[in-house]
Amino acid sequence: MYRNKKTGIIGIIVTVIILITIVVVSNIEIENFSQIGGALSSLVMPVQNGITYLKNKITGNNTFFSDISTLKEENESLKDENSKLEQSLRELEIIKAENETLKEYVNLKDKYTEYTTVPGYVINRDTSNYSNIIVINIGSDDGISEGMAVIADEGLVGHVISVTGTTAKVQTLLDTSSAVSSLVGTTRDAVIVKGNLDDNDMLRATYIPTDATILEGDKIETSGLGGIYPKGITIGTVKSIVDTKNLTNRYAVIEPAVDINKVETVLVITN
């Protein structure tokens, strides 16, 4: 009996060690393999990240429930972020103005140069491996409704799929059922940006026209078609292009401008 118990405990300890090893090894970046320092830091980093993440989460939730003064401070910092966003939008406007010939062709008015936005916090994340949904702490009471685009300071995050009085569910770009009509920044070729299961940090640009020239480093932005996302919001940059046997099936891997798995504050475009 004693012996069985002892081997049982040893079994558990061994399994715990195996589990931790697998988690750590599977999360090591490939570049870090060459450096011992990198390997060491990757042993410490998950714990540190986790603690920081928990801390942020707890303080975020506290302020959500009580502290008005902290809420005010947060509001101010969000306003700052908002002004930064508006600044980046203005820069976008300048780029738009430079691209005059294209404007003549498309004959679009500057509909979306000014957005009205409502800031919100990410309060929950999906616990499934197959979908990517975040819950934010603003809802229909703040003027949020279904189908509104959600952005962060660097670019697009997703769109609202359902609202309650005080919360809203946002389907992010990384979700497998998300598809955004987009344009390649330089050549204005139309592509569809989708989430995929294969790599839950990257997006895929599909339906690339066969005559399109798409290059690594190209910026991808929303096209404004489809009615959900306004035109000209940054989605990300092309990281690599994957050629398949059939030219029509080729796709580009896109690194989203926003780190969607870690984003904490978002803005909902309400107009």
What residues numbered 51-80 form the site for another protein, per CB under 8 A? Answer: 53-54, 57
Q: Does 43 participate in binding another protein (rule CB under 8 A)?
A: no
Longest dimension (CA), the chain: 85
Cα–Cα distance for residue pair 234/173, rounded to 1 Å: 12
Kindly tell me which of 42 and 99 has the beta carbon lying closer to another protein.
42
Cα(108)–Cα(101) distance, rounded to whole angstroms? 11
Cβ proximity to another protein: between 22 and 43 the closer is 22
Residue 107 contacts another protein per CB under 8 A: no
Given 10, 16, 40, 242, the residue binding another protein (CB under 8 A) = 16
- Residue 200 contacts another protein per CB under 8 A: yes
From 62-70, 82-90, 92-100, 119-127, span contacting another protein (CB under 8 A): 119-127
Total number of residues binding another protein (CB under 8 A)?
40
Paired residues of 119 in beta bridges: 267
Cα–Cα distances in Å, from 65 out to 50, 59, 163, 229, 230?
22, 10, 19, 31, 33
Give the tokens for residue 257. 């401008």
105 binds another protein (CB under 8 A): no
**How many CA atoms lie less than 13 Å away from 26 in the CB half-sphere?**
6
Residue 169 engages another protein in binding (rule: CB under 8 A): yes
Nearest to 139 by CA among 160, 117, 115, 125: 160
The residue ranges that bind another protein (CB under 8 A) are 8, 11-12, 15-16, 18-19, 22-23, 26-27, 46, 49-50, 53-54, 57, 124-131, 133, 135, 161-162, 169, 171, 176-177, 194, 196-198, 200-201, 261
